[in-house]
Structure 1
Amino acid sequence: MFLGIDLGTSEVKLLLLDDTGGIVGTAGSTLTLQSPQPQWSEQNPTDWWRATGEAASRLRSAHPAEFAAVRGIGLSGQMHGAVLLDASDAVLRPAILWNDGRSHAECAELTAAAPALQDIAGNLAMPGFTAPKLLWVRKHEPDIFARTASVLLPKDWLRLQLTGDKVSDPSDAAGTLWLDVARRDWSDELLAATGLTRAHMPRLVEASQPSGVLKPELAATWGLGADVIVAGGAGDNAASAIGIGATAPGDGFISLGTSGVLFVVNDRFAPNPASAVHAFCHALPSRWHQMSVMLSAASCLRWFCTLVGRDEAALLAELTPDDSAVNAPLFLPYLTGERTPHNDPFAPGVFHGLKAATTRADCTYAVLEGVAFGLADGLDALRAAGTEVQQLSLVGGGSRSPYWAQLIADVLDVELVVHAGSEAGGALGAARLGWLSTGGTVDTVCTRPDISAHFAPHPDRHARLAPRLARFRDLYRRLRGA
């Protein structure tokens, strides 16, 4: 048995995987965000550990014999977060998360201090990345910066609780702007630009390699045997790719979670920072990937549910299969700014074109369409970087809606497939990495789950949506800087 632990933004999810690759069970525990000031997004790492323990307890209660047989654990986690520890490994302040926009000024400072940044890290300096956050702390919280002995990413802080070891992997570390992504190693030059050294960083192992063993006292508490291996693990999107078997060049997926991601595997380091495309290490050796990221995706629908006091199922049930775009307003899904392709932390969310006759269903449709249009912008950025796709898998919570899946296929003019268990996301990939770390082979472990649904694009629908996509893009251009 293998256990996957996925530290998301809104939930910690655990998944049990058996030796045939079958999912035995899952359990989760919710998390909340804190935003003490505009553009700030933080969480307390102790809440991650509490949620992990709660989910483990539920999974163990539901599947006691299988849980006790776990021999490998894999980790997946939200990327870019900064967990600052002192010399005794105490957390110095709440973790600054991936969707935090406070360090926009520090991005310019980092770019000036490290002229080779884009060549080495393969990415633009954006507020979501980890390195600008440390520059912000150095400027605004100098006492905290002076006491910082270690900087860990979220999943790697969980690893510290599990094993007592400070370790990361190239896929997650690539999102810090401190990694030489081609060499899959820390860059002394980029670390120095933020006043740090390798001594502040965890050691690196590949995602599928062992990183340590579970602490004996924790193994006893969880009812596990001795020498349970904890794999290097991966950033959430690379782990999701492992979960759906996206391991070969050209394989790709769309993730509809809190953020929206379009991910394509490469066999080489292929950066295109000019279009705000991310070029990161994949979770397998000698593999990289390109990725476009929109900061708000399924979270836009959750926001609208809260706004109108209805749950997702009720809102989606109000939609009809006819052309809802006729009367719907346009929606810009930039509730927390945007990355690809705009790199604009100040981009606002907008409903445009509201009328007296506009219904709640019209607005629900507009939200789904706006996210799909944001993904289309990301696909165009990947194509500009030389990436072509014929088919994409759809993963994450948003993959549960056939209506949304078909709309995205129509907007992108790309076939989408949904795999059985696709909502498992990074937790399944994490469990598979745990399996690989105990001796499993890629051919055996990283298989493609069965396809449960196909969504072929409708050419006429794509043509009808094209003018709305053009107006969507024009609306952002007109509002930028307003």
Structure 2
Amino acid sequence: MYLGLDLGTSGVKALLIDGNQRIVGSANGALEVSRPHSGWSEQNPADWIKASETAIAGLKASHAKELAAVKGIGLSGQMHGATLVDAAGAVLRPCILWNDTRSYAEAAKLDADPRFRKLTGNIVFPGFTAPKLAWVAKHEPEIFAKVAKVLLPKDYLRLWLTGEYISEMSDSAGTSWLDTGARKWSAELLDATGLSESHMPSLVEGTEQAGKLRGELASAWGMSDVVVAGGAGDNAASACGMGTVSEGAAFVSLGTSGVLFAANGSYLPKPESAVHAFCHALPNTWHQMGVILSATDALNWYSGIAGKSAAELTTELGNSLKAPSGVTFAPYLSGERTPHNDAVIRGAFIGLGHESDRSVLTQAVLEGVSFAIRDNLEALKSAGTSISRVTAIGGGSRSEYWLASIATALDVPVDIPADGDFGAAFGAARLGLIAATGADPVAVCTAPQTARTIEPVSALSGAYDAAYQRYRELYPAIRQLAH
């Protein structure tokens, strides 16, 4: 048996698979986000452990025998979070999360240093880890002085599980400290933020062993001799779950954030496009992705205002894709990454009229996210990656209306995988299997069968193109107001 632990923004998921990769069971532990100031987003790392314990307890209650047979654990997690611990391993402050934009000034300053883009292959985004440490150094110097290790969220779980300070390539590529092409920490980039390699965990590949489960936990869970894999950042782990590991494979993820992810057989950086060029979880592979900060987050925000659940809102639209109404929604609720790299921009509805009822606004929200993902597609094209089709994952992919909107906006087919859970927790479990058994990573990380495919609605392609142009023209005006 093999266990995947995925530390998301809204919860921890524990998923159990057998040696044939059949899902045996899963359980969850909930998390909440603290937003003490505008643009801030934090979590207490102790809550991650509590949520993990809740999820594993749920598995133990229903699958104690299978849980006791676990021989490999894989970790996945939300990326970029700055988890700061002292020399004793104690947490110094709440973790600053991936969607926290307080360090935009520090990010701009680091990004102006040409070494960062040259070595990391990426813009220094405000959500990345390095500018967060620069912010802490400036605003909380007493805490910065005590920092002994900087850990990414899933690697704090590893510390709890194994007692080891270890990370892996895919997650570390999102810190702005990794030499992404060479797959190692950059001493000069660390030095530029007042740190050294001694502040960082050691590095392994996602498929490699990265510690063993501590005896105390193994005893509590009824396990013995359990290997913990390097694991992966959430998107790379999802790619392992979806089989998106070979050149040309791609997926679109509609989660809290939105991601357009393409696997690459080589390192293809183009930082000026705001496309992320990261190491993949498998050795000697890389990937590119465009990221929007609010996908289902945008629909959930509107759901709270409308007083209807997200499912109720999308059901009101019916099954057939409609032409855009003329109301345009910009989903920049907490800034935007690809292609704008703008922490200050905020969202907007434009084109409202007396006739703009709830369903019209719901439609505009879905279209706004679809157009933001098309922005990502255009950025990926500029970075040398073409996409001919995508597989859909994430909570938002349950809405076939939304998937039809994305297919039409991108003008590519969208595949819906056969029933099953192929997300980050499944990918993490696969990495646990590989690390424990030495199995071939490509042979393990195969793609699921496609249940059905949603084709672009060709009759609406002209209307969608025109609406996308309106959407693109909206950004400069909103930016002028926001800045």
TM-score range, shorter chain: over 0.9
Matched, 1:369 2:349: no
Could you list the per-position Cα deviations for residues 170-218 of structure 1 after superposition, in whole angstroms to 9, with x for gaps in the alignment?
0000000000000100000100000000000000010000001101110
1:178 aligned residue: 177
Native 8 Å contact 2:326 2:467 kept in 1: no
Native 8 Å contact 1:79 1:154 kept in 2: yes
Matched, 1:257 2:252: no
The alpha-carbon deviation at position 315 of structure 1 amounts to: 1.1
TM-score, with length taken from structure 2 = 0.97
Aligned length: 480
The alpha-carbon deviation at position 319 of structure 1 amounts to: 0.6
Q: Name the CA distance, whole Å, in 2 between partners of 1:209 and 1:469.
A: 43
The alpha-carbon deviation at position 320 of structure 1 amounts to: 2.5
Counterparts of 1:13-28 in structure 2, within 5 Å, are 13-28=13-28
Question: Partner amino acid for 1:107?
Answer: A
Q: Which moved more, 1:292-301 or 1:437-446?
A: 437-446
Native 8 Å contact 1:395 1:423 kept in 2: no
2:345 aligned residue: 347
2:336 to 338, 358, 364: 338
TM-score, with length taken from structure 1 = 0.98
Matched, 1:44 2:44: yes
Q: Name the CA distance, whole Å, in 1 between partners of 2:307 and 2:457.
A: 33
Q: Name the CA distance, whole Å, in 1 between partners of 2:399 and 2:8.
A: 20
Native 8 Å contact 2:4 2:75 kept in 1: yes
Question: Partner amino acid for 1:331?
Answer: F
Residues 421/148 of structure 1: CA separation in 2 closer, same or farther (3 Å cut): farther
Native 8 Å contact 1:279 1:291 kept in 2: yes
Q: Name the CA distance, whole Å, in 1 between partners of 2:420 and 2:173.
A: 25
2:388 aligned residue: 390
Could you list the per-position Cα deviations for residues 292-319 of structure 1 after superposition, in whole angstroms to 9, with x for gaps in the alignment?
0000101111111111121122111111
2:417 aligned residue: 419
Could you list the per-position Cα deviations for residues 59-112 of structure 1 after superposition, in whole angstroms to 9, with x for gaps in the alignment?
121222211211100000000000000111100000001111011110122134
Q: Name the CA distance, whole Å, in 2 between partners of 1:328 and 1:21.
A: 47
1:402 aligned residue: 400
Q: Name the CA distance, whole Å, in 1 between partners of 2:433 and 2:462.
A: 45
Q: Name the CA distance, whole Å, in 2 between partners of 1:72 and 1:421.
A: 25
Native 8 Å contact 1:11 1:29 kept in 2: yes
SS at match of 1:351: strand
The alpha-carbon deviation at position 327 of structure 1 amounts to: 3.2
Native 8 Å contact 1:107 1:132 kept in 2: yes
Native 8 Å contact 1:207 1:284 kept in 2: yes
The alpha-carbon deviation at position 26 of structure 1 amounts to: 1.4
Native 8 Å contact 1:420 1:451 kept in 2: yes
1:110 aligned residue: 110
Native 8 Å contact 1:328 1:363 kept in 2: no
1:146 aligned residue: 145
Could you list the per-position Cα deviations for residues 144-180 of structure 1 after superposition, in whole angstroms to 9, with x for gaps in the alignment?
0000010000000000000000100000000000000
SS at match of 1:388: coil
2:5 aligned residue: 5
Q: Name the CA distance, whole Å, in 2 between partners of 1:198 and 1:236.
A: 24
Q: Name the CA distance, whole Å, in 1 between partners of 2:379 and 2:476.
A: 16
SS at match of 2:408: helix
1:227 aligned residue: 225
Q: Name the CA distance, whole Å, in 2 between partners of 1:190 and 1:29.
A: 36
Counterparts of 1:81-96 in structure 2, within 5 Å, are 81-96=81-96
Could you list the per-position Cα deviations for residues 116-155 of structure 1 after superposition, in whole angstroms to 9, with x for gaps in the alignment?
1111000011100000000000000000000001000000
Q: Name the CA distance, whole Å, in 1 between partners of 2:286 and 2:402.
A: 29
Could you list the per-position Cα deviations for residues 433-473 of structure 1 after superposition, in whole angstroms to 9, with x for gaps in the alignment?
00000122224311111212211112222222111110011
Question: Partner amino acid for 2:137?
Answer: R
Could you list the per-position Cα deviations for residues 414-438 of structure 1 after superposition, in whole angstroms to 9, with x for gaps in the alignment?
1111213565410010000000001
Native 8 Å contact 1:121 1:181 kept in 2: yes
Q: Name the CA distance, whole Å, in 2 between partners of 1:258 and 1:396.
A: 9
2:289 aligned residue: 291
Native 8 Å contact 1:244 1:422 kept in 2: no
Could you list the per-position Cα deviations for residues 362-400 of structure 1 after superposition, in whole angstroms to 9, with x for gaps in the alignment?
111111111000000000000001111111111111111
SS at match of 1:217: helix
SS at match of 2:235: helix
Q: Name the CA distance, whole Å, in 2 between partners of 1:60 and 1:469.
A: 49
Which consecutive unaligned segments of at least 5 residues does structure 2 have?
none
1:303 aligned residue: 301
Native 8 Å contact 2:242 2:422 kept in 1: no
Which consecutive unaligned segments of at least 5 residues does structure 1 have?
none
**% identical aligned pairs:** 52
Question: Partner amino acid for 1:7?
Answer: L
Q: Name the CA distance, whole Å, in 2 between partners of 1:123 and 1:316.
A: 36
Q: Name the CA distance, whole Å, in 2 between partners of 1:195 and 1:334.
A: 32
2:327 aligned residue: 329
